[in-house]
Amino acid sequence: MTITSPHLGSSDAWTDARLLYALEEVVEKELNRHLKVAKDWMPHEYVPFSDGRNFTGIFEDGEAWDPAQSKVTDIGKIALVVNLLTEDNLPSYHHEIASLFGRDGAWGTWVHRWTAEEGRHGIVMRDYLLTSRAVDPDKLEQFRMTHMSEGFTSDNRHSMLHSVAYVAFQELATRVSHRNTGHQSGDPVCDRMLARIATDENLHMVFYRNLLGAAFEIAPDMTMQAVRDVVVDFRMPGHGMPGFERAAAQMAIGEIYNMRIHHDDVLQPVLRYLKVLDIDGLGPEGLKAQEELGLYMGGLDSEARKFDEKLAARKARMAARAAG
């Protein structure tokens, strides 16, 4: 890709429009790679429909939901609801990225393809939860209405580079959350379903991670600043859903998603793959951002270590009570 623009390290050289144009060849290349490796799959094939039965309502033979009907662990239920409500806001996510990346050319093709693939995740998770009676269907629908009625506004909608940086980490965070939820669910059917979803999320992460790598090549200082900002202020897209803080705390204790996992399994893999902390030749602003990013990662690791110690102490107390 040949860039005929002012000095590549200059922040003044790049507007969002210029970056979108400059990266379009990379988007097309990554889109073609994605289409070759991504495998279509059928959501209905992952749902145990034979286990389903009518709920109370318009059906005379309807059966009321009861917590005892669920095979899923308590922490699995919490995480499944969080993960599904996150997926439910897909219309808002589509609006955000379509407004930023556009609907034309390779960018537009990717936006629509990504949206279609993400749509499967909400379909299969909801069908599984209702068919298996894993969670209260009335509360699930009430939560969905509340969450979607509030919509979603990206923290990074002001900047194309910030948005690319965010989704590179967020897609991996979602993959990790789905995979760990499956492991902790207590239901092999649920585990298989979430493993299939996690495979999609990983491919989405690779697309954005590679795009972020290309951005580092053409606008290193701006990209470094964007990565620093996103990492330091990172929030999961479901942060606005009802009861998110409490659910997030329970998921942290349940080892589905916590500071240690965020540091080791989400931030570090992307930073390490792109060698972000080893990039040289940066200007003053880029170098400052790189140093601040390194300091933040060190601080996060220390905080995660403290969390690990508290979690280990909690496990020891629970084991002692069980033994006593």
Known binding-site positions for Fe cation: 87, 118, 121, 171, 201, 204
Return the SS3 of 148.
Answer: helix
Binding residue positions = 87, 118, 121, 171, 201, 204
Say which residue the tokens 């960018």 belong to.
107
Which residues touch 232 (CB under 8 Å, ≥6 apart)?
292, 293, 296
List alpha helices for 38-89, DSSP H. 74-88
Query: How far is Cα 264 from Cα 257, in angstroms, rounded to an integer?
Result: 11
Query: How far is Cα 211 from Cα 83, in angstroms, rounded to an integer?
Result: 25
Helix, strand, coil % over all residues of the chain, rounded to 5:
75, 0, 25
**CA–CA–CA angle 147, 153, 157 (5° rounding):** 160
User: What tokens does 177 get?
Assistant: 């959350």
Of the candidates 218, 263, 254, 207, the residue with the CA atom closest to the CA atom of residue 27: 207
DSSP letters spanning 249-305 = HHHHHTTSS-HHHIIIIIIHHHHHHTTGGG--S--HHHHHHHHHHHHHHHHHHHHHH
Instruction: Residue 21: count other Cβ atoms within 10 Å of its Cβ.
Output: 14
Query: How far is Cα 233 from Cα 43, in angstroms, rounded to an integer?
Result: 34
Say which residue the tokens 């390290």 belong to.
9
Query: How far is Cα 129 from Cα 33, in angstroms, rounded to an integer?
Result: 33
Query: How far is Cα 182 from Cα 186, in angstroms, rounded to an integer?
Result: 8
Say which residue the tokens 């600043």 belong to.
225
